[in-house]
Amino acid sequence: MKKSWFLVPIMLLVGSGMVFAQQPKPSPKSAPPVTTAQAAAKVVDDRRVHLNGKIVSQQGKNVWIFQDASGKIPVVIGAKAVPSGRALSPGMPVEINGVVDRPAKGGVRVVAQSVRTVVGGHTGKGND
């Protein structure tokens, strides 16, 4: 009988450890969005972004370089992300909402879910 009392505390410790190990990790998408190119370059895959700045150049059909006061980052901008009838061009002030993408081949970029061009050349965020 004494031996069985010895096992009870051990079983409780092992059982409680299993409960803690099964707690889900918070999703990068549930965290607040990052708001600068520099911060976007440092966070994990799938983290939401809300960037204000300008397009500085085009690298490929759908790849643009975005710049704000903190630095530059590549942004993949598909046709669905840009309002119809709006064409992007270097120097254009924009507001980008999307997620960070870290491809298996390396590097970091933002995949835009929406791009809003800012009329008058000023985003109102001080990042121009």
pLDDT reported for residue 113:
97
Q: Cα-flanking dihedrals φ and ψ of residue 119, to 5°? A: -70, 140
For residue 34, give the DSSP letter. B
pLDDT at 16 over 90: no
- Asked if residue 104 has pLDDT above 50, the reply is yes
The pTM for the full model equals 0.72
Mean pLDDT rounded to a whole number for the chain:
83
Average pLDDT value for residue range 11-35: 67
Count how many Cα atoms sit within 13 Å of the Cα of residue 59 in the half-sphere of its side chain: 13
Range 101-117 average pLDDT: 95
Q: Which domains does the chain have, with CATH numbers?
A: 28-121 (2.40.50.200)
